[in-house]
Amino acid sequence: MTTRSGEKTDGRPLATVFNESAERLEREANEMWERRHADSLAALRGNPLDEDARFQAAHALKKLNRHAEAIELLREGLLRSATVRAHHQYAGLLEQCNRTEEAIAAAAAGLRAFPGDVSLQLKEALALPVLYDSAGEIDRWRGRFAEGLARLRREIRLDSPERRRNALLGIGGHTNFHLGYQARNDRDLQVQYGELAHRIMAANYPEWARPLGMPPAARQDRLRVGYVSGRFCDRTATRYFLGWLREHDRERFAVHVWHLGRKTDSVTEEARRISFRFDHVPGRLEDACRGIRERDLHILVFPDIGLDPIMTQLAALRLAPVQCMAWDQPITSGLPTVDYFLSGSLAEPEAAAEHYSERLVRLPGVGVCYRRPPIPIPLLTMTRRDFRLREDAAVFLCCQGVYKFLPQNDCVLTEIARRVPRAQFVFTVTNPMVGADLERRLARAFADAGLRAADHCVLLPQLVRRRYWNLHRVADVFLDTIGWSSAVSTFEAVACRVPVVTLPGDLMRSRQAGAILSQLEVPDTIARDRAGYVEIAVRLAVDRGFRAGIVERMTRDNALLYNDRRPVTALEDFFRSACTAASARPE
């Protein structure tokens, strides 16, 4: 119970109670992983060949941000019992830690012991760095990826049940996640991979790969629309697209949802509540296929192809007569079974159709009905000292995924720092080993500019939501990543009253923040080139009046951005027209 002044009845401020509770939960989670690590090590001491205990101990170490120890633990396991699973785990962790060459060597060693294992073939041929050390590296790795993909398409055989199953398991553990972060047009490469994935899925499930006719429906009947994702919980896909489900006209559309992820939370329950039918089938590919087919859908939507392997597997089949993808991973699927790419008109350049194997659908504005983030600003009381930031600094947020930061853009940061000597740039890193690689690259870039990276760059571990929002409240400027723009992060920066600097590029994935600012009618911080990006960032840092004016306009015009139902209406109109067009196609 609280008083009107926001205090608990025991006299303590609500913010204090909130933060103490949150810190206790974070501490308890850390202690849980410490216990799991200790228990797993105890099991290993009893039986050094207990593979499950070894993997659980390594997983706990990752949760505790002790990745180097996890790598060593898995390496020891390979020396004791070199199973195919042990090779998968070891190579995968090396790749996550940006030890790409080592990951490839580990996969190659696994292939020598287990020739023909498609999971290891994919890792050996298609592994990409989390973080590039130089711009020239991108071309080298991209060339290697293309050569590896061509080789896989030649070598993967599907002429026996065992080979078909092996290939199915292989693509069930792989995505081309890091390819898009090279900031290139990936259509051709994605199409090649999409054709391979479709061939594998069709060979395993021919009954689910055949074309489907449109179910008959009287004019007054509701269209059956399905949404399938592994992320119907508090993840970016659901924050971005749940508004479509929430705002659908229930008299015209029956919304069916399949959640394939294991995690559930309050957002999962909201998705369940607003659905006509909701099925939770965690990781169960065949159950999901069977259930989707049994509903006799008119349209099926995949919000997040490219993040979870099972989504590529599903989308590579024909489970509904019309299949669409959205853009939690804003890159074409390349799959011959995905008909339409749903996008926002403000984010797409004029020549956008060339970037997709799907037919492009441009929805109004940013394309989504995004709910204003419920950020408890009065409870966010952490200070700059909590994030190792100086009180007198001009704080620039660079807290997107570290893989978005390409080396050719480091000069933008050094130029800002040269012109704003008190600048501090805050990064969040996926693990300490990736962080060390970024630190070395930044040190070199700042030294080349006659500066010390240590004076300007602060690297933090990935933050829980409360700390992430607190960081925004002590920052001055949000620097959108060049080449791969932020969408959900920009929505949250706007809600936290932090101005956003962005530089739209040639691909939709680089234009999302620009679309959000355009819909807000605050285009002042959208740059035309790198020099303009620096100018805007510097002005926001040194001109408090300019910054306050931008923040005031962003806040005043929030209604232009959040809860915009126009994209849902346009989406529903598209669904109707797509069904009509599909019905007219010859069988």
335-344: pLDDT as tens digits: 999 999 999 9
Query: Are 347 and 303 in the same domain?
Result: yes
Give a yes or no: residue 428 inside a domain. yes
Dihedral of the CA atoms 564, 568, 571, 575 (nearest 10)? -170
Give a yes or no: residue 110 inside a domain. no
In angstroms, the Cα distances linking 346 to 350, 361, 504, 517 are 10, 12, 11, 10
Give a yes or no: residue 41 inside a domain. no
> Does 403 score more than 70 pLDDT?
yes
- The pLDDT mean for the chain works out to 95
**Using H for helix, E for strand and C for coil, what is the string for 372-411?**
CCCCCHHHCCCCHHHHCCCCCCEEEEECCCHHHCCHHHHH
Query: Are 345 and 470 in the same domain?
Result: no
> Does 192 score more than 70 pLDDT?
yes
Query: Are 385 and 327 in the same domain?
Result: no
Angle at the Cα of 540 (from 536 to 542), degrees rounded to 5? 115
Residue 226's CATH number: 3.40.50.11380
- Is the entire prediction scored with pTM above 0.85? yes
Go through 496-535 and write b for each residue having 16 or more CB atoms within 10 A of its CB, e for each that does not: bbbbbbbbbbbbbbbbbbbbbbbbbebeebbbeeeeebbb
Query: Are 282 and 417 in the same domain?
Result: no
> Does 384 score more than 70 pLDDT?
yes
Could you tell me what percent of the chain has a pLDDT over 70?
97
Q: Can you give the pLDDT at residue 2?
A: 46
Q: How confident is the model at residue 504 (pLDDT cuts 50, 70, 90)?
A: very high
Q: Can you give the pLDDT at residue 5?
A: 40
Distance CA 573, CA 586 (A): 23
Give a yes or no: residue 420 inside a domain. yes
Distance CA 428, CA 447 (A): 21
Q: Which segment of 8-17, 162-171, 534-543, 550-559 scores lowest on mean pLDDT?
A: 8-17
Higher pLDDT, 4 or 502: 502
Query: Are 355 and 225 in the same domain?
Result: yes
Mean pLDDT of 127-148: 97
Q: Which residues are bridge partners to 2 per DSSP?
A: 8
Range of the domain at 310: 208-371+566-584
Query: Are 413 and 517 in the same domain?
Result: yes
Query: Are 496 and 514 in the same domain?
Result: yes
Give a yes or no: residue 319 inside a domain. yes
Query: Are 362 and 383 in the same domain?
Result: no
Query: Are 364 and 384 in the same domain?
Result: no
Higher pLDDT, 196 or 17: 196
Radius of gyration of the chain (CA): 25
Query: Are 349 and 274 in the same domain?
Result: yes
Query: Are 396 and 527 in the same domain?
Result: yes
Mean pLDDT of 63-84: 96
Distance CA 151, CA 125 (A): 8
Give a yes or no: residue 159 inside a domain. no
Q: How many domains does the chain have?
A: 2
Query: Are 474 and 547 in the same domain?
Result: yes
Q: Which two tokens stand for residue 322?
A: 């019309």
Q: How confident is the model at residue 234 (pLDDT cuts 50, 70, 90)?
A: very high
Phi, psi values for residue 301, rounded to 5°: -120, 130
Distance CA 101, CA 85 (A): 20
Give a yes or no: residue 571 inside a domain. yes
Q: Can you give the pLDDT at residue 519?
A: 96
Mean pLDDT of 42-47: 96
Q: What is the pLDDT of residues 518-558, one digit of tens each?
A: 999 999 999 999 999 999 999 999 999 999 999 999 988 78
> Does 94 score more than 90 pLDDT?
yes
Residue 387's CATH number: 3.40.50.2000
Give a yes or no: residue 494 inside a domain. yes
